[in-house]
Amino acid sequence: MADLDDLYREIILDHYKNPRNSGSIESPPALVEEGFNPLCGDEVKLYLVIEDDRIADIRISGQGCSISRSSASLMSQAVKGKPISEAFDVLARFRRMMGIDGEESGEPEVADVRSLGELAALQGVVKFPVRIKCATLPWNTLSAAIARSLG
């Protein structure tokens, strides 16, 4: 049985209670994208300002559990100010950590996880398969927003 401590690490609870980059940005200039977790009703609303192929600003609102909220908060820190290409790279590494898109066998590269910084706190989610969707919701929403901005 997976342990709850793996899931609810301190960083996660902190980001849940004090979400970074929370709020909204007027649109335009912001791009707005909504994501749903159809199975549980969680909703995330992303406000993105993209300038010169970089994520100049990002804000997040919505409703969600500790995992989806902290994942959104951590994501916003990880991509804010970054070129889109770099954001995609983080996204890819994050998905591998969640066991999606990876080798069939699972376990992500250690180096990969390390490079994620604070985001690595979400690694424990993998042991709780149902919660993976919570963790990936903001990321999938981000990738949908970027895809749309690219046309």
Partner 1 sequence: MASTIRSAMTADTLDVRVIRKDFPIYQQPYEDKPFIYLDSAASSQRPEQVMQAMDEYYRRFHSNVHRGVYTLAEEATARYEAARVKVGRFLGAKDPSREVVFTKNATEAFNLVAQGLGRVLLNQDSVIVLTEMEHHANLVPWLILQEQIGFTIRYITFDSDGYLVLDELDSILDGASLLGVTMMSNVLGTVNPIAELAAAAHRHGALFLADAAQFAPHFEVDVSGLDIDLLCLTGHKMLGPTGIGALWARSEILDRMTPFLGGGDMIADVRLDGFVASEIPYKFEAGTPPIAEAVGWASAIDYLESVGMGSLRAHDLKLTEYAIANLTGSLGSAFKLYGPKVAADRGGVVSFDLAGVHPHDVAQVLDQHGVCVRAGHHCAKPLMRQIGTAATARASFYLYNDEADIDALVAALEDAYALFN
Closest approach of Cβ 25 to partner 1, in Å? 22
In the numeric block, the tokens 């709780």 are attached to 128
Query: Quick one: tokens of 93?
Result: 């590494």
Q: Are 75 and 57 in contact (CB under 8 A)?
A: no
Closest approach of Cβ 4 to partner 1, in Å? 5
CA distance 15 to 71: 8
Contact residues for 6 (Cβ-Cβ < 8 A; gap 6+): 124, 127
Contact residues for 115 (Cβ-Cβ < 8 A; gap 6+): 93
Q: Are 20 and 77 in contact (CB under 8 A)?
A: yes
Candidate segments 25-33, 58-66, 93-101, 114-122, binder of partner 1 by CB under 8 A: 58-66
18 binds partner 1 (CB under 8 A): no
The residue within the footprint of partner 1, chosen from 64, 99, 108, 124 (CB under 8 A), is 64
The residue within the footprint of partner 1, chosen from 36, 57, 89, 123 (CB under 8 A), is 36
Candidate segments 1-9, 88-96, 99-107, 112-120, binder of partner 1 by CB under 8 A: 1-9
88 binds partner 1 (CB under 8 A): no
Closest approach of Cβ 114 to partner 1, in Å? 27
The residue within the footprint of partner 1, chosen from 20, 32, 128, 144 (CB under 8 A), is 128
CA distance 98 to 9: 16
Instruction: Give the residues lining the site for partner 1 (CB under 8 A).
Output: 1, 4, 7-8, 13, 36, 38-43, 63-67, 69, 128-131, 134
